Amino acid sequence: IAQLRPTRSMDVIVHLKSMFARHGIPETIISDNGPQFRGQEMKAFATDYCFEHITSSPKYPKSNSEAERAFQTVKNLFKKASDPYRALLAYRATPLSNGYSPAELLMGRRLRTTLPILPERLQPVLPDLQVLRQTERKKRWADAKCFNSRNRARDLGKLSPGDNVWIADAAEQGKVSSVHSSPRSYLVMGPQGTLRRNRCHLIPMPESGSECEQQQEQPPEADSGVENPPPATESVNAPDIMRLRSGREIKKPDRLNLWGKK
């Protein structure tokens, strides 16, 4: 976590270099599509430091949910803590649901805090990564199953290059040019140029030519020479009958009929 006043590409790169010097260079970095991550400077930095930079789907924060959730956690910590660095120390030393703290997962050792602890507990101990990954995989599968069941989530159909779609967030029509390497992400050609959008933003549009052919294939109705009878007109003075959803007629109580009218 680093505080950035200007959020230019070079400022972000300097802080990333500082983190890489302490913890090493990761294989993959996932970020949003902010202007500081889309420039040539970030691409050159990724090539120079030999890591893969992946951006999430534009206009779809759910695709970068891990970073969004971490930001929410840190934001809540800073709201309640008088000393932000001490709050971060306590968070990094607190065990998670899997039994290991963030410091143990990253560095393989526990952090010393203001709470009393035996010196033996501070010795480096690496967690069993195979068991940990299996446990995390089962937990994520159970969480995804509960979320999909609760929200009635379903997989949207895949799109192919050349399909006409309606871009919901841009309110314009486009055509799928290719499938992006990221899951459920497509490149779409529209009036504004080439856009990258998630599948939830793209609504398939029927081809106009197929609709015309279907209308032409339908034979016209035969003229029998007999005029259709005029529709029956309801009596103007007929009272409106109100019914329940089950079909039962609603009758007003007699106590409201003060003049004896029916």
Take residue 182 and report the two structure tokens written for it: 């990221």
State yes or no: pLDDT of 200 exceeds 70. yes
Please provide the DSSP assignment of 128-170 as one string: -HHHHHHHHHHHHHHHHHHHHHHHT--PPPP--TT-EEEETTT
pLDDT above 50 (res 215): no
Higher pLDDT, residue 213 or 193: 193
Give the count of alpha carbons within 13 A of 57, CB side only: 23
pLDDT digits (tens, 9 = 90+) for 75-114: 999 999 999 999 999 999 999 988 899 999 999 999 999 9
What the block records as the tokens of 66 is 């891990």
What confidence tier does 148 reach under pLDDT thresholds 50, 70, 90?
confident
pLDDT at 260: 58
Query: What does the pLDDT read at residue 259?
Result: 60
Higher pLDDT, 175 or 229: 175
> Cα–Cα distance between 103 and 211 in angstroms, integer?
61
Minimal CA–CA distance to 108: which of 86, 90, 85, 132?
132
Tracing tokens 């856009």 back to the chain, one arrives at: 195
Buried b (16+ CB within 10 A) or exposed e, 94-113: eeeeeebbebbeeeeebbee
How many angstroms separate the CA atoms of 181 and 51, rounded?
A: 17
CA distance linking residue 73 with residue 88, whole number of Å: 10
Q: What is the pLDDT of residue 171?
A: 87
Q: Is the pLDDT of residue 234 over 70?
A: no
Q: Give the model's pLDDT for residue 231.
A: 55
Question: What pLDDT was estimated at residue 230?
Answer: 54
- Provide the CB-side half-sphere exposure for 176 (13 A, CA): 23
**pLDDT for 216 beyond 50:** no
Grouping H, G, I as helix, E, B as strand and the rest as coil, residue 178 is strand
Does the pLDDT value for residue 44 go beyond 90? yes
In this predicted model, what pLDDT tens digit does every residue of 132-144 receive, in sequence order? 999 999 999 999 8
Whole-prediction pTM value? 0.65
Q: Among 36-45, 61-70, 108-117, 173-182, name the one with the lowest average pLDDT.
A: 61-70
- Distance between CA 172 and CA 191 in Å, rounded? 8
pLDDT of 198 higher than 60: yes
Token pair, residue 143, equals 């969480």
pLDDT band at 248 (very low <50, low <70, confident <90, very high): confident
Q: Rounded to 5 degrees, what angle do the CA atoms 206, 210, 214 make?
A: 120
Q: For residue 21, what are its two tokens? A: 């010097």
- 38-47, 82-91, 226-235: least confidently modelled range: 226-235
Average predicted confidence (pLDDT) for the chain: 83
Q: How confident is the model at residue 60 (pLDDT cuts 50, 70, 90)?
A: confident
Please say if the pLDDT value at position 7 is more than 80: yes
